[in-house]
């Protein structure tokens, strides 16, 4: 049979790599194969399909028998829906000042979700019970939004990773104050790969109530899920997903991607590789005089400081972002398809540009 005709044309060079974001990577071939497998014929819309049903068993194999997954389009949508589910109209969420929900979601939790964010400065992107207490007060004060949730990211926006004991301490502290705990897990797989433990070890096993499970940054074409770990007290998830414009009509195409990642070990293989490339990048960068690594490299991100003019020249050869342009801080991200040659070529280019300094 001849392949179906298409008038689409390739508009990019597939050999080009960058270090700006793991979102720049394409979809893993096994995910694309799963999408093709799910195509054809008719399946019930809005999540009553066979793929979404099977995804529930996959998710429970990782997060326990009470877990339930609600597939959504993207990470911001997952976070907004999840946080709405555990806050009242007057509720607030305590998070790190550097958290994605605070810095990189366009104000969606506050503007779309109607949730006040109570932020805490952290040196490494990680909250502690002591840091949480800076905002955990005033529950009976009608003049202040009520703290109802602690949201942490695993891995954090600064590429650091919580240990299971650190998350357990946060959960125990939050629950003692009547607050829920949410995990922004857009890079949850990278954290598990670093810790070398099952996903449950630092989620439901230590008291996390719900999480946003990432797929896009780990090889999916698109799609994440809100995973409810503790059904008690989680309100109206289905209604909130629709209200927040995160209910996919052809949900089978979101669910089958998450199934492809998490039914076996593709999620872990992809995350381990991305982490290993970040370690290789960090090792290469450490050998370059005048470049400082700013945070422990614990997932697939490398944060560094170097002369501003060097970064600008290097950006013309490889895409990456400034993290704090005034300070000269940059972020380099590795993905599941980053190769050793990509890393080595980047380090060589960095050395060349550093050598051009006056």
Is residue 14 domain-resident? no
Mean pLDDT value of segment 285-303: 97
Query: What pLDDT score was predicted for residue 232?
Result: 77
Same domain for 351 and 275: yes
Same domain for 311 and 248: no
Is residue 208 domain-resident? yes
Q: The pTM is what?
A: 0.96
**Percentage of residues of the chain with pLDDT beyond 70:** 99
Is residue 15 domain-resident? no
Q: Which is more confident, 234 or 291?
A: 291
Q: Where in 7-134 does DSSP place strands (E)?
A: 68-72, 91-96, 116-120
Same domain for 140 and 92: yes
Specify the range with the lowest mean pLDDT, choosing from 1-5, 99-103, 307-311.
1-5
Same domain for 171 and 47: yes
Q: What is the mean pLDDT of the chain?
A: 96
Is residue 106 domain-resident? yes
Helix (H, G, I), strand (E, B) or coil at 32: helix
> How many domains would you assign to the chain?
2
Query: What pLDDT score was predicted for residue 7?
Result: 80
Same domain for 215 and 94: yes
Q: Where in the chain does DSSP place strands (E)?
A: 68-72, 91-96, 116-120, 146-153, 180-185, 210-213, 224-228, 292-293, 301-305, 321-324, 329-333
Reading the block at residue 154, the tokens are 């695993």
Q: Which residues contact 13 (CB under 8 A, 6 or more apart)?
A: none
Same domain for 122 and 45: yes
Query: What pLDDT score was predicted for residue 15?
Result: 87
Same domain for 179 and 84: yes
Domain end among 262, 295, 314: 262
For residue range 156-186, list pLDDT tens digits in order: 999 999 999 999 999 999 999 999 999 999 9
Query: What pLDDT score was predicted for residue 2?
Result: 65
For residue range 174-217, list pLDDT tens digits in order: 999 999 999 999 999 999 999 999 999 999 999 999 999 999 99
pLDDT band at 357 (very low <50, low <70, confident <90, very high): confident
Same domain for 70 and 113: yes
Same domain for 123 and 91: yes
Query: What pLDDT score was predicted for residue 77?
Result: 98
Is residue 10 domain-resident? no
Query: What pLDDT score was predicted for residue 191?
Result: 98
Is residue 24 domain-resident? no
Query: What pLDDT score was predicted for residue 233?
Result: 66
* C-beta atoms surrounding 23 within 10 Å: 11
pLDDT band at 289 (very low <50, low <70, confident <90, very high): very high
Closest CA to 148 of 234, 222, 77: 234
Reading the block at residue 277, the tokens are 């490339």
CA dihedral angle for residue 198, residue 131, residue 21, residue 192, rounded to 10 degrees? -10
Same domain for 87 and 212: yes
Mean pLDDT value of segment 63-76: 97
Is residue 18 domain-resident? no
Is residue 157 domain-resident? yes
Domain end among 222, 237, 262: 262
Domain end among 245, 262, 279: 262
Same domain for 202 and 307: no
CATH of the domain at 45: 3.40.640.10
Same domain for 191 and 160: yes
**What's the domain range around 75?**
29-262
Mean pLDDT value of segment 251-278: 98
CATH of the domain at 325: 3.90.1150.10
For residue range 83-129, list pLDDT tens digits in order: 999 999 999 999 999 999 999 999 999 999 999 999 999 999 999 99
Query: What pLDDT score was predicted for residue 5?
Result: 75
Q: CA-to-CA distance for 163 and 192, rounded, in angstroms? A: 10
For residue range 15-38, list pLDDT tens digits in order: 888 999 999 999 999 999 999 999
Query: What pLDDT score was predicted for residue 345?
Result: 97
> Is 135's pLDDT higher than 90?
yes
């Amino acid at each position: 049979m001849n392949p179906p005709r298409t008038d689409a044309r390739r508009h990019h060079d597939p050999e080009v790599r960058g270090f700006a974001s793991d979102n720049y990577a394409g979809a893993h071939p096994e995910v694309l194969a799963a999408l093709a497998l799910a195509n054809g014929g008719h399946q019930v819309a809005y999540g009553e399909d066979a793929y979404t049903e099977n995804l529930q068993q996959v998710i429970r194999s990782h997060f326990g028998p009470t877990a339930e997954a609600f597939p959504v389009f993207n990470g911001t949508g997952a976070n907004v829906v999840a946080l709405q589910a555990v806050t009242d109209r007057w509720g607030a969420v305590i998070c790190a000042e550097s958290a994605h929900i605070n810095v990189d979601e366009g104000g969606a939790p506050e503007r779309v979700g109607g949730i006040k964010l109570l932020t805490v400065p952290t040196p490494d992107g990680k909250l502690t019970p002591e840091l949480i207490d800076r905002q955990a007060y005033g529950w009976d004060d009608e003049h202040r939004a009520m703290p109802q949730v602690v949201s942490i990211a695993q891995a954090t926006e600064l590429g650091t990773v919580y240990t299971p004991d650190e998350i357990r301490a946060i959960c125990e502290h939050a629950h003692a104050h009547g607050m829920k705990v949410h995990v922004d897990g857009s890079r949850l797989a990278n954290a598990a790969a670093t810790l070398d433990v099952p996903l449950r070890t630092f989620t439901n096993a230590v008291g996390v109530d719900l999480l946003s499970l990432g797929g896009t940054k780990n090889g999916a074409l698109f799609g994440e899920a809100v995973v409810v770990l503790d059904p008690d007290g989680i309100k109206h998830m289905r209604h909130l997903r629709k209200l927040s414009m995160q209910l996919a009509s052809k949900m089978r195409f979101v669910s089958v991607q998450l199934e492809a990642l998490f039914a076996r070990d593709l999620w872990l293989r992809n995350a381990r590789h991305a982490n290993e490339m970040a370690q290789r990048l960090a090792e290469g960068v450490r050998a370059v005089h005048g470049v400082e690594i700013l945070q422990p490299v614990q997932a697939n991100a490398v944060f560094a400081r170097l002369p501003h003019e060097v970064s600008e020249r290097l950006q013309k050869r490889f895409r990456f972002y400034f993290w704090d342009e005034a300070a000269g801080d940059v972020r380099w991200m590795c993905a599941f398809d980053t190769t050793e040659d990509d890393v080595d070529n980047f380090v060589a280019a960095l050395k060349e540009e550093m050598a051009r300094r006056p």
